[in-house]
């Protein structure tokens, strides 16, 4: 199944290829850096990197901007607000907030694959207010409440 998405190349991205999947079964398309000069991201720092494109998603869809696993594994570089959400009514440039969690400076050059973008349907929420919620096995247990099962009891660690 495919979703028709209108795309506009912005002046500073006119010579770059349109986002495309790396393989036929890739879930997302690669976003490229539309920087003029290289951008150096020092360890512990972040930078907003332009992609040179703007998109018009159909109603009922979003685009998620996600990290590239190779950049994260090799350089400690990831998308800071991951996943970044692009709403169907946004018409500005798709930009990527990269953060360098590694221990050496990272150089972003023009045309470099910096992130991936996945277009997905969005379900609308129809709230149904109640005085009480239905019971569940987990209940109100929060962060870490499912833990790791202990060998002796098989019960969740709390």
- What is the pTM for the complete model shown? 0.85
For the cut 70, the answer to whether the pLDDT of residue 158 exceeds it is: no
- Model confidence pLDDT, tens digit, residues 7-26: 999 999 999 999 999 999 99
Report the chain's mean pLDDT, rounded to a whole number.
Answer: 93
The domain of 12 spans 6-120
Residue 52 resides in a domain:
yes
* 100 CB burial (10 A radius; 0-12, 13-18, 19+): buried
- From CA 89, how far away is CA 104, in angstroms rounded? 38
CATH number for the domain spanning 34: value is 2.70.40.10
* 151 CB burial (10 A radius; 0-12, 13-18, 19+): exposed
- From CA 86, how far away is CA 67, in angstroms rounded? 15
Provide the number of structural domains found in the chain: 1
Residue 153 resides in a domain:
no
Q: Residue 132's pLDDT is what?
A: 95
Are the C-beta atoms of residues 142 and 125 closer than 8 Å to each other? no
Q: Residue 154's pLDDT is what?
A: 58
CA angle 64, 46, 62 (to 5 degrees): 10
For the cut 70, the answer to whether the pLDDT of residue 155 exceeds it is: no
Tell me what percent of the residues of the chain surpass a pLDDT of 90. 84
Distances, alpha carbon 74 to alpha carbons 68, 70, 83, 116, in Å: 10, 6, 20, 16
Are the C-beta atoms of residues 5 and 86 closer than 8 Å to each other? no
Residue 54 resides in a domain:
yes
Residue 95 resides in a domain:
yes
> In what helix (H) or strand (E) does residue 9 lie, and over which residues does it extend?
strand 6-9
Q: Residue 70's pLDDT is what?
A: 95
- Model confidence pLDDT, tens digit, residues 99-141: 999 999 999 999 999 999 999 999 999 999 999 999 998 888 7
- From CA 109, how far away is CA 31, in angstroms rounded? 13
For the cut 90, the answer to whether the pLDDT of residue 95 exceeds it is: yes
Mean pLDDT confidence for 33-51 = 98
């Amino acid at each position: 199944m495919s979703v028709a998405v209108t795309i506009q190349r912005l002046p500073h991205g006119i010579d770059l290829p349109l986002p495309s999947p790396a393989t036929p079964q890739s879930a997302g398309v690669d976003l490229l850096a539309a920087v003029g000069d290289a951008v150096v991201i020092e360890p512990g720092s972040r930078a907003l990197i332009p992609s040179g494109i703007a998109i018009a998603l159909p109603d009922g869809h979003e685009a998620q901007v996600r990290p590239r696993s190779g950049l994260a594994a090799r350089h400690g570089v990831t998308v800071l607000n991951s996943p970044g959400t692009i709403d169907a009514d946004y018409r500005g440039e798709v930009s990527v907030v990269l953060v360098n969690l590694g221990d050496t400076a990272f150089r972003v050059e023009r045309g470099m694959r910096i992130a991936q973008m996945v277009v997905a349907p969005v379900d609308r929420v129809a709230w149904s207010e109640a005085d009480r919620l239905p019971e569940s096995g987990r209940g109100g247990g929060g962060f870490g409440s499912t833990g790791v099962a202990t060998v002796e009891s098989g019960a969740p660690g709390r």
